[in-house]
Amino acid sequence: MSRAQVWVISFSPIAEDARVLKQVRVLAAEHEVTTVGYGPAPAEAVAHYEIPADLVAWHKDRLSLMLRRYRRVQDMNAVIAHLRATLPVGQADVVVANDADTVPVALALRPRAGVHVDLHEYAPRENEESWRWRLFVAPYYRWIIRRFVTRADSVTTVGKGLAAEYRREFGIEAAVVENATAFHDTEPTLVQQPIRLVHSGNARRNRTLELMIDAVTDTSTDVTLDLFLMPNDPAYLAELKERARAANVALGGDRVRVHDPVPYADLVPTLCDYDVGVFVLPPLTFNYRWTLPNKFFDFVQARLGIIVGPSPEMAGLVREHGLGEVTEEFTTASLTQVLDRLTPEMVQQWKAASHARAPEVAAERRSGGWVDAVRVLVGR
């Protein structure tokens, strides 16, 4: 029997986008997958439509946004115009659209069996710390969701909190597919001295990453901190490097280090050299409050202990499985208090708990929502 033609669309470099890449891999096991996105094709794709790097997906015509002429916002977007002119209509059986922006394109492709939408964020509140975004951009995303996402045949999102909000505001029933990481067959290492803390992710100012540097500076426990950061905001990244330099001068030695990011394929093996993954993210936005990111599952697969702030999704898993500790607040002082209590014996127990749970929370076990949704559509 011939395999279904499944197209995966994402306005991101798919080969470097952890969630979309996992999606492509699990779907390619059963279907012929064609990808549409920036950068080179992932290895599993049978075909790829590359969005030219000079076309900016997030750009939206300001005047049209202000006047709420949302059709014109789409017509003026260079990426949407390019894809309308490039992509053949009616050739896909199923189109999987990643994030709200891609859904109008997916529906316009008229796939024979339907459209599945995967929402990585709660779109109407993604950058709500900005009053301009709340006033002009959020209504546009509410329009996209009401007009297009509600027409999708099925929807998934990254966590229970976001799914509940999509249901409350739009009546959308979204299944949950977590940002789980592929299983890595490895063993927890012995805790080192000093205890080695690590964080990986985006260098964005509203993530308040300096909180972790300051806590390591203030703690009485012998720890180090390594940060592997994407250069999303070069000015902010430079500030973090200077803060790390100042901490090392004050403390003596090389206690805080800021590194370039490593390719995603190398991330978990790199993290295995550490003891505890740290992520304390103040809930400046709705999405930050309900975050359950890739890095959480990367930490588990690297067999690390985990320290997080009281973010409900992450904190619940840490407490349920005994993976580490949750700070009382999203502050330097609260993180310092947790670090002050760290012992090698405690961290070794956390690492053992991650080892025990790694098969259960791996992508192979947690990505079935995409597979099931596409199977249903193909089966129709």
In order along the chain (380 residues), what is the average pLDDT of each group of 10 residues? 91 92 94 97 96 94 94 95 96 97 98 98 93 95 98 97 97 96 95 97 94 96 97 95 94 92 92 98 95 96 98 96 97 98 98 97 91 94
Q: Which CATH architecture has domain 5-180+363-379?
A: 3-Layer(aba) Sandwich (3.40)
pLDDT for the residue numbered 16:
86
User: Which spans in the chain are helix H?
Assistant: 18-28, 62-66, 70-76, 78-86, 103-108, 131-132, 138-147, 160-170, 210-218, 234-251, 264-271, 286-289, 294-301, 312-321, 332-340, 344-357, 363-366, 368-379
Residues 28, 48: Cα–Cα separation, whole Å: 13
Residues 269, 301: Cα–Cα separation, whole Å: 9
Domain 195-357 annotated CATH 3.40.50.2300: no
pLDDT for the residue numbered 272:
97
pLDDT for the residue numbered 187:
96
265, with CB counted inside 10 A (0-12, 13-18, 19+), is exposed
| Structure-token match 């803390």, residue found | 197
Residues 64, 315: Cα–Cα separation, whole Å: 41
Domain with CATH 3.40.50.2000 in the chain: 5-180+363-379, 195-357
Centre a 10 Å sphere on the Cβ of residue 100 and count the other Cβ atoms it contains: 23
pLDDT for the residue numbered 147:
97
Q: Which two tokens stand for residue 68?
A: 């709420």
Cβ atoms of 148 and 128 closer than 8 Å: no
Residues 273, 134: Cα–Cα separation, whole Å: 42
pLDDT for the residue numbered 252:
84
